[in-house]
Amino acid sequence: MRTLALAAALLATACGPVLYAELEIPSVQVKLPSQSFPAAAPLPVNQCPTPQTGCVYQTFSYDLGSQVSVLDDKNVTSQIRLTSLAVDLTAGSALADFGGIASITMSVLAPDGTALPGVTVASYHRSAADPNPHAISVAGNSNVDLAPYLEAGKLTIASEMVVDAGTPDFTADVTSDFYLKVKIDYGKLAGL
């Protein structure tokens, strides 16, 4: 029995994990309901880290750990990619449509104490074909692995919204769809 345990330990050292499970989750949807956005005028609002005229800055926290609890386990490696993002006006919102919003840039923020750069994960530019949309839906930058940005199961996303016509305070649901791939190393979990 001791020889079998030693052989398993040597095999794990030489060839990587022996006992693992890999799980692919093509869609984990996280909805942040009724997010408040402040009123903005095209001039001189500038709350954004990179100075821009008429820019409103806001952050959102996505708790992926509450959706997939193993993401916080030290014996798990993961890939996380944003596949889509949607902003929908809530019923009764003071804003009739998104016509005053010229563009939105969504970036993932690095956890405190890391040297990771912020990375753009989705962006919207008003279309001439639909200048007054009631909802905004864009594809995410699925080339970016967001796993290194995960802190305590959460991702922090910053929104930079550039307005070229005044907007009142409004509320909107922000829904993001993520692709996840997790690998659980049961060898480490069992102490091999």
- Residue-wise DSSP of 136-177: EEEE--TTS--GGG-BTTEEEEEEEEEESS-B--EEEEEEEE
Sheet strand arrangement including 76-89: 20-37, 170-185, 76-89, 135-139
Query: What is the tens place of the pLDDT at every residue in 150-183?
Result: 999 999 999 988 888 888 888 999 999 999 999 9
pLDDT score, position 5: 43
Distance CA 11, CA 21 (A): 17
Distance CA 134, CA 95 (A): 9
Q: Does the bond joining 26 to the residue before it have cis omega, within 30 degrees of 0?
A: no
Calculate ∠ Cα 52-160-34, nearest 5°.
140
pLDDT score, position 93: 84
* Residue ranges of domains in the chain: 20-189
CATH number of 20-189: 2.60.120
Is the model more confident about 107 or about 40? 107
Answer yes or no: is pLDDT of 106 > 90.
Answer: yes
Query: What is the tens place of the pLDDT at every residue in 57-87?
Result: 889 999 999 988 888 888 889 999 999 999 9
Is the model more confident about 6 or about 115? 115
Distance CA 35, CA 5 (A): 54
Using alpha carbons, list the distances in angstroms from residue 73 to 20, 147, 151.
14, 13, 12
Tokens of 67: 């959706």
pLDDT score, position 45: 53
The whole-number average pLDDT for the span 135-139 is 93
pLDDT-based confidence at residue 19 (cuts at 50, 70, 90): confident
* pTM check: above 0.85: no
Is the model more confident about 86 or about 17? 86
